Amino acid sequence: MSEAALIPALSPEEVAEIEAEISHLPDRQSAAIDALMIVQKHRGWVSDESLSAIASLIGMSTAELDGVATFYNLIYRQPVGRHVISMCDSVSCYVMGADGLAKDLEAKLGIRFGETTADERFTLLPIVCLGACDKAPTMQIDEDLIENVSADKLDDIFEKYA
């Protein structure tokens, strides 16, 4: 039996966290996005199995929940690397040279946007304005905001993320 098959679609810890969110809401379905984000926090992404498990936990159809999941930018329905690099491609960063930086990033990592490195260390994604426009260009790696990014700083930046 594969390792994946042994992992339940929802862990007791995840269920407890989801239930805690539900307790602050008028109905269970309203926790849909919270539940998806909780599972993603634990697993990096939301698999079909987890999606169905969440749907039955919060009393929604799988189709309806997947409709929600596929609507939002921050919910990943495909596996991602150990670290997710989200590079701002919005206008303030663009003005400060983000397009060139994006090419540098792709070259450095050897992947295109939307892809994951072969060693599964990094997934590279575009993201909309991170709200730190005075320190453009910016990116976010996992939960860390990284400001004033330039090509020559990339090695140092990546070092922290094994």
Residues that bind another protein (CB under 8 A): 24-27, 29-34, 36-37, 48, 51, 58, 61-64, 66-68, 70-75, 86, 89-92, 94-96, 99-100, 127-136, 140, 143-145
**Token reading at 16:** 């407890």
For another protein, the closer CB: 119 or 125: 125
Q: Residue 34 and residue 21: Cα distance in Å, rounded?
A: 7
CB atoms within 10 A of CB 25: 13
In the complex, least distance from residue 160 CB atom to another protein, rounded to whole angstroms: 15
Sign of CA dihedral 18, 22, 23, 25: positive
Rounded to a whole number of angstroms, the minimum distance from the CB of residue 136 to another protein is 6
- Closer residue to another protein, CB minimum distance, 3 or 24: 24
Nearer to another protein, 107 or 128 (CB): 128
- CB 10, min distance to another protein, A: 17
Buried b (16+ CB within 10 A) or exposed e, 71-84: eeeebbeeebbebb
For residue 155, give Cα distances in angstroms to 85, 105, 158.
13, 10, 5
Q: Phi and psi dihedrals of 157, rounded to 5?
A: -60, -45
Min CB(15)–another protein separation in Å: 17
State which residue, 28 or 121, has the beta carbon closest to another protein.
28
